[in-house]
Amino acid sequence: MTVATAAMDDPSKLPKFRDVEKAPPTVNTVLIIIADAIDAKALCSTLEETKNGSFVTDWKTTLAAGLQRLEQGGIDAVMVDLSLPDCSGMETFDRLFAAAPRTPIMTLCLLDEDAAGVEMVEHGAWGYVAKASYASYLVAQSLRNIIQRSVAEEAVFIEKARAEITLNSISDAVIGTDMAGKVDYLNIAAEGMTGWTREEAKGRSVEEVMRIVDAATRQVIPNPVERVLKEDAPMGLAPGAILIRRDGSEAAIEDSAAPIHDSRGRIKGAVMVFHDVTAAQAMVLKMAHLAQHDFLTNLPNRVLLSDRLAQAIILAERRGTQLALLFLDLDHFKYINDSLGHETGDKLLQSVAQSLIGCVRRSDTVCRIGGDEFVVLMAEEGRAEDAAITADKIILALSTPHTINGHELIVTASIGISAYPGDGRDAETLLKNADTAMYQAKERGRGNFQFYKAEMNARAVERQAIESDLRRALLRQEFSLHYQPLVSLANRRITGAEALLRWESPSRGEMAPGMFVPIAEDSGLIVAIGRWVLREACAQTKKWHDLGLDPGIVSVNVSALEFRRKDFVDSVRLALLDTGLWPGAIQLEITESVLMNDVESSTRILGELKGLGVSIAVDDFGTGYSSLSYLSKFPIDVLKIDRSFINAVGNSESDSIIVSAVIAMGANLKQRVVAEGVEEVGQVAFLKAECCEEAQGFLFSRPLTSDRFAALLRSGITDEFM
Ligand code: C2E
Ligand code: MG
Ligand code: MG
């Protein structure tokens, strides 16, 4: 009895597919091609009568009929007699094999034809059955074995195809090696990354195909495959690895390697998976840079400043040296932003950043820590005077015009300086104290620098407190307006009034404007406050008119920040409209220096205001540095001579001369001239002699509440109001 299959010759070739083994018995269709009817019947019944009925048979008598049946599909195995009416011998087998190469074929042969059967097996048949064994139960068993084997092989085939497609679709590079570390596999990504094709790389050592060096030291890093094979454990690559491609180009990589085991757990090789992290690393660097730098100027930002300052302090402490911090704030930067737009403002900041860099040493750090605030860290400060020299240099450099979008802009800066260790031993204190000194510089008239002094702190704290109280003052209705009459010197009649802001602070009592208006200006609060003042003055004037009283022209003070705002003219128009006041009843007081700051835009704004019908006064005249030629071009109605000149009348000859000149000039320009701060009768005599027609001062009346001013309007100037 001879039943033989290729798998039976070498049982280890049979893949163990537990799924297949455990699956419920399936019914397999066997195609039987045999001419002899008796033989065929014997074979069919042997198969169909197996215990669990796992076979059905389909019998054909010619090769042609057999091939036709194969084509229809659903055949799990073929049993063929090699001597058929239409074909015989090897050709029969070859034609069947060509038609269904993955379907197991068993050949049928006569007894003692073992040699022929073996030949067929060598040719690709899965086994053979001798005629004498057709009735043997071994036929069914052998057939079942080879069908199982073919199913398992098909599963392995699909699995391999899936792995291959997957490995070639992923962006990670994969390299496989044998136990000697020789490359036996590269996926497409690995080919791209290394510059080696799979065929070229095969058999070469992994170190040759994948050269890795350390990014910092440029030393060759041993390939992790080596250790994986030695230690039989997965291994990662140390960070900072650089892959050198076949063409010498480089890529930062991250990788890991793992051993491969056979079914008995014996290590058979290693697989290395890696990917290019060059772009990711560049992104990380960029993000780190962005987090520490100002996007507009590319200067270090507050985060990096804190870092460098902390380091500089540690170093200075160790060496026993000093360091200085310059806190710089541009003066009136808000006006530039408001009047010329943010784009111009941004460019000016960039230009300022460049100027600053030009003023310091390479070892110093220039940072922008917000809006128009810059900090210079001078880490190698020998003496405090060096900081002063740098501050001077900066002020001078900034004052050369910055040409931006066709505008020639001159900026000044106020600078505060603090030094380690004298003014603070930690970063926070040093910064805070330099900031405080900067405020002091602002108060000293801007465009200068101040060294920090301990007593400044108390003032800074006070300022801060006033600012936070001011924020609430509008809501809590703590403001009011007082009115100080303007008087005709000829007949002491009231020609108008100046509305002056008063703040009754619950915690501080009555606050003079000099104490809080500058703080309101610096914090921007003046805009909201100014809007309230204008509205209140208009409403009050309208009320007086409605009562049949004539207050003359009522003046309202306008600060620089309000005047430069784009919506200022509109807010004046709206206040008049809402209160129903005749525009000719209102006058706006703008200081000389504000008008001179940007002559072009001043002329335009003044024109628009005049267009509304309000009149314009130049306040504190004489204290700025007006060019008279400009002044004559502005549409101005009134010049108010600053109190300091009137004060000096009779004491200082030169001031008296100025007063005379201003009065004469006003007369020439056809502007009314008002003398501010008249306190003495002697001053009145002088002014009258110089033909000044109007004055304002304690001599005639102090600023009064609206009620008392109404009473004054009814009674005229009496001593009661002085
Ligand atoms: P200013 O516009 O020059 O106002 C005149 C100041 O001189 C007022 O001080 C007034 O009380 C004072 N004064 C008038 N006559 C005499 C006098 O004979 N002798 C002396 N010693 N002083 C006299 P006040 O009310 O303290 O205001 C100071 C400054 O505050 C004002 O100067 C003005 O620049 C500002 N201010 C007042 N109200 C407002 C406001 O509503 N808005 C804005 N932006 N600033 C205001
Ligand atoms: Mg005024
Ligand atoms: Mg004034």
Mutational pocket test of ligand 1: of 511, 557, 561, 722, the residue with most ligand atoms within 8 Å of the beta carbon: 557
Residue nearest (by alpha carbon) to ligand 1 atom 4? 500
Q: Do 595 and 470 belong together in one domain?
A: yes
pLDDT over threshold 50, residue 471 = yes
User: How many A from CA of 510 to the centre of ligand 1?
Assistant: 14
pLDDT over threshold 60, residue 720 = no
Q: Do 178 and 208 belong together in one domain?
A: yes
User: How many A from CA of 78 to the centre of ligand 3?
Assistant: 117
Which-ligand-closest: CA of 620?
3
CA 547 to chain CA centroid, Å, is 60
Secondary structure class of 262 (helix, strand, coil): coil
Which-ligand-closest: CA of 530?
1
pLDDT of residue 19: 46
Q: Do 153 and 221 belong together in one domain?
A: no
User: How many A from CA of 102 to the centre of ligand 3?
Assistant: 107
User: How many A from CA of 61 to the centre of ligand 2?
Assistant: 124
pLDDT over threshold 70, residue 111 = no
The token duo for 463 is 């300022």
Of ligand 1's listed atoms, the one at least distance from the Cα of 512 is 26
Asked whether residue 624 is assigned to any structural domain, the reply reads: yes
Residue nearest (by alpha carbon) to ligand 1 atom 37? 500
Residue nearest (by alpha carbon) to ligand 1 atom 33? 557
Q: Do 475 and 586 belong together in one domain?
A: yes
Confidence of residue 380 (pLDDT cuts 50, 70, 90): confident
Q: What one-character-per-residue DSSP string does 81-147 give? A: ESB-SS-BTHHHHHHHHHH-TTS-EEEEE-TT-HHHHHHHHHHT-SEEEEGGGTT-HHHHHHHHHHH
- Rounded to whole angstroms, the Cα distance separating 124 from 93 reads 9
User: How many A from CA of 446 to the centre of ligand 3?
Assistant: 20
User: How many A from CA of 616 to the centre of ligand 1?
Assistant: 17
Asked whether residue 459 is assigned to any structural domain, the reply reads: no
The token duo for 454 is 């301990």
Which-ligand-closest: CA of 621?
3
Confidence of residue 649 (pLDDT cuts 50, 70, 90): confident
Of ligand 1's listed atoms, the one at least distance from the Cα of 521 is 44
Q: Do 136 and 176 belong together in one domain?
A: no
Q: Do 436 and 498 belong together in one domain?
A: no
Lowest mean pLDDT across 417-421, 620-624, 642-646: 620-624
Cα dihedral 216/222/225/229 (nearest 10):
-140
Cα dihedral 105/109/114/117 (nearest 10):
-30
pLDDT of residue 416: 95
Residue reference for tokens 């009562």: 547
- Spatial CB neighbours of 397, under 8 Å, sequence gap ≥ 6: 355, 356, 358, 359
On average, the pLDDT of the chain sits at: 88
pLDDT over threshold 50, residue 490 = yes
Single out the residue in 131, 165, 199 at which a domain terminates: 165
User: How many A from CA of 589 to the centre of ligand 2?
Assistant: 6
User: How many A from CA of 500 to the centre of ligand 1?
Assistant: 6
Lowest mean pLDDT across 309-313, 547-551, 660-664: 660-664
User: How many A from CA of 130 to the centre of ligand 1?
Assistant: 128
pLDDT over threshold 90, residue 10 = no
Assign residue 560 the CATH number of its domain. Answer: 3.20.20.450
pLDDT > 90 fraction of the chain, expressed in percent and rounded? 53
pLDDT of residue 116: 75
pLDDT of residue 24: 59
Q: Do 430 and 507 belong together in one domain?
A: no
User: How many A from CA of 501 to the centre of ligand 3?
Assistant: 13
Tens-place pLDDT, residues 217-265: 999 988 889 999 999 999 887 788 999 999 999 999 988 899 999 989 9
pLDDT over threshold 60, residue 448 = yes
Residue nearest (by alpha carbon) to ligand 1 atom 13? 677
Asked whether residue 501 is assigned to any structural domain, the reply reads: yes
pLDDT over threshold 90, residue 88 = no
Q: Could you tell me the CA-to-CA distances from 87 to 71, 79, 185, 482 in Å, in that order?
A: 18, 15, 45, 127
Answer yes or no: are the C-beta atoms of 250 and 230 closer than 8 Å: no
pLDDT over threshold 50, residue 679 = yes
Q: Could you tell me the CA-to-CA distances from 512 to 17, 83, 444, 536 in Å, in that order?
A: 97, 127, 19, 18
**Is the pTM for the entire model greater than 0.95?**
no
Which-ligand-closest: CA of 563?
1
Tens-place pLDDT, residues 165-215: 998 889 899 999 999 999 999 999 999 999 999 999 999 999 999 999 998
Mutational pocket test of ligand 1: of 500, 511, 638, 646, the residue with most ligand atoms within 8 Å of the beta carbon: 500
Residue nearest (by alpha carbon) to ligand 1 atom 34? 557
| Phi, psi dihedrals of residue 194, rounded to the nearest 5° | -90, -25
Confidence of residue 1 (pLDDT cuts 50, 70, 90): very low
Single out the residue in 116, 148, 165 at which a domain terminates: 165
Tens-place pLDDT, residues 518-530: 889 888 899 999 9
- Rounded to whole angstroms, the Cα distance separating 343 from 488 reads 48
Residue nearest (by alpha carbon) to ligand 1 atom 44? 559
Residue nearest (by alpha carbon) to ligand 1 atom 43? 557
Which-ligand-closest: CA of 555?
2
Q: Do 609 and 704 belong together in one domain?
A: yes
Asked whether residue 395 is assigned to any structural domain, the reply reads: yes
| Phi, psi dihedrals of residue 31, rounded to the nearest 5° | -90, 120
Which-ligand-closest: CA of 513?
1
Tens-place pLDDT, residues 345-373: 999 999 999 999 999 998 899 999 989 99
pLDDT of residue 14: 43
Residue nearest (by alpha carbon) to ligand 1 atom 30? 513
- Rounded to whole angstroms, the Cα distance separating 577 from 550 reads 20
Q: What is the mean pLDDT of residues 538-564?
A: 95
Q: Do 270 and 392 belong together in one domain?
A: no
Confidence of residue 9 (pLDDT cuts 50, 70, 90): very low
Tens-place pLDDT, residues 40-71: 888 888 888 876 668 889 999 999 999 999 99
pLDDT of residue 21: 47
Of ligand 1's listed atoms, the one at least distance from the Cα of 562 is 44
Residue nearest (by alpha carbon) to ligand 1 atom 7? 677
Mutational pocket test of ligand 1: of 474, 481, 517, 680, the residue with most ligand atoms within 8 Å of the beta carbon: 517
Lowest mean pLDDT across 84-98, 608-622, 654-668: 654-668
Q: What is the mean pLDDT of residues 131-147?
A: 81
Assign residue 338 the CATH number of its domain. Answer: 3.30.70.270
Q: Ligand 1: list residues with CB < 6 Å.
A: 484, 500-501, 512-514, 517, 526, 530, 533, 557, 559, 589, 619-620, 643, 676-679, 696-698, 703
Asked whether residue 612 is assigned to any structural domain, the reply reads: yes
pLDDT over threshold 70, residue 554 = yes
Assign residue 16 the CATH number of its domain. Answer: 3.40.50.2300
Range of the domain at 534: 466-715
Of ligand 1's listed atoms, the one at least distance from the Cα of 500 is 38
Q: Do 504 and 621 belong together in one domain?
A: yes
pLDDT over threshold 70, residue 467 = yes
Single out the residue in 148, 165, 182 at which a domain terminates: 165
User: How many A from CA of 676 to the centre of ligand 3?
Assistant: 6
Q: Do 103 and 186 belong together in one domain?
A: no
Which-ligand-closest: CA of 696?
1
- What's the total number of domains in the chain? 4
Answer yes or no: are the C-beta atoms of 621 and 641 closer than 8 Å: yes
pLDDT over threshold 60, residue 721 = no
Q: Do 98 and 54 belong together in one domain?
A: yes
User: How many A from CA of 709 to the centre of ligand 3?
Assistant: 19
Of ligand 1's listed atoms, the one at least distance from the Cα of 482 is 25
Asked whether residue 531 is assigned to any structural domain, the reply reads: yes
Which-ligand-closest: CA of 560?
1
Asked whether residue 721 is assigned to any structural domain, the reply reads: no
Tens-place pLDDT, residues 313-356: 999 999 888 899 999 999 888 877 877 788 989 999 999 999 99
